Structure 1
């Protein structure tokens, strides 16, 4: 029987508010698993899977192992530009979130899929690789660098189109991926994206030469998420009426 994943669109939401919601859903999952363990063998945890989509106002986020030196502007500059800065508990280094970017936060109980974080990250990458492939782009992985890239093995041409960073507690995941669709890439000039010095950042808009409908891209992500995770995607209460999933 396929797992069900509840898909919701939070719209434009401050980063910290989305983080709080993720933490709440993660705690619901871990609490359910703890209750099942206390009830004894044979008790099935009542966990639910979620995929949250959103867009954030401009914000730089730093992963728990990130380097503050990769933020290249001062607090005063951030305030003047209207950009927030948040230190997070996800993996990875520093990245940017903002308008024109599709951010996805899967909150999954991996024990109901597989218990392998490496496989989970490769599957998230595959979702994005298949999605951008529908726009004629050959997404690839770069050894030792999580995310989705274009031309990662060609010096001077390697560029990242989707950043990823996750956290997992008792096999329940949070945080996720950020796909640059129509993103203003100039924001990345203020950081060393993902802590990688010699590779640039790109977007679907830049690569295709046209502005793309973000609802269409999101629907394709959901389709490929269903394929890769062999799951049934169901509309949540926060998903816009009439929008495709």
Structure 2
């Protein structure tokens, strides 16, 4: 079957985490259903690929392998801060999402690209590393830790982008969270990704600016994604 390299991109704006998760699940299941049908029938249907951009209201999410003790406050404090909490079906530990953070959810059929989850994660990291380089920052990988960091191997190592994905039948969901204009104070209420003694940073802090143009950063991410995945980006105006 011919590989479909088209990726439909939607910017959902500010959307509740659970609402976005449900939408991800809908797109994910549609793709899985097509793949299941293709195995039974001679006439093959193309599987779609999606890339969702979104900002979430304050929320903490805990992955399947995470430890609830990495959330350092109780539900009462979360409520006071206007934050929600969810246990979810991605890999990884605890993560914070909030306004000023670019969250990206690629829902790809990797049969359209390559069937290698390790490569998939490394290319998502590379997309962020190349984007940061355009702002004069040297993003790096930290051995044994998914995501993108600055000053790895020094006492000043700090994480700027978290990642956690789920894949089934080579269809992906969840993704990455890049701190751009994020209120870093919310990270104080958890042990980020379960990794003690590592700081968290954001693009505006690193560049010494009050605010970075989020639309510009998203476009840079997409440009690098398109090259790395040999994809064809198609921008959608409304959810499908």
Would you call these one fold, judging by a TM-score over 0.5? yes
Maintained 8 Å contact 1:54/1:102? yes
Equivalent residues in 2 for 1:25-40, closer than 5 Å:
25-40=27-42
Moved over 3 A (4+): none
1:199 maps to which residue?
198
TM-score with structure 1 length normalisation?
0.94
Aligned mates of 1:235, 1:120 — CA distance in 2: 22
Aligned mates of 1:190, 1:214 — CA distance in 2: 25
Please report the RMSD computed on the Cα atoms of aligned residues, expressed in angstroms: 1.2
Maintained 8 Å contact 1:2/1:232? no
How far apart are 1:2 and its partner, in Å? 6.7
Aligned mates of 1:61, 1:112 — CA distance in 2: 29
Residue 23 of structure 1 pairs with residue 11 of structure 2: no
Aligned mates of 2:4, 2:128 — CA distance in 1: 21
Aligned mates of 1:33, 1:45 — CA distance in 2: 8
How far apart are 1:208 and its partner, in Å? 0.4
1:243 maps to which residue?
none
Q: 5+ residue gaps in structure 1?
A: 240-245
Aligned mates of 2:235, 2:80 — CA distance in 1: 39
1:108 maps to which residue?
108
2:123 maps to which residue?
123
Maintained 8 Å contact 1:11/1:54? yes
Aligned mates of 2:189, 2:232 — CA distance in 1: 40
Kindly provide the CA deviation profile for residues 111-151 of structure 1, in whole angstroms up to 9, marking residues without a partner as x.
11111100000000000000111000000000110000001
Aligned residues: 236
Q: 5+ residue gaps in structure 2?
A: none
2:83 maps to which residue?
83
Aligned mates of 2:169, 2:88 — CA distance in 1: 19
Maintained 8 Å contact 1:2/1:230? no
Give the 3-state SS of the residue equivalent to 2:149 in structure 1: strand
TM-score with structure 2 length normalisation?
0.96
Maintained 8 Å contact 2:60/2:96? yes
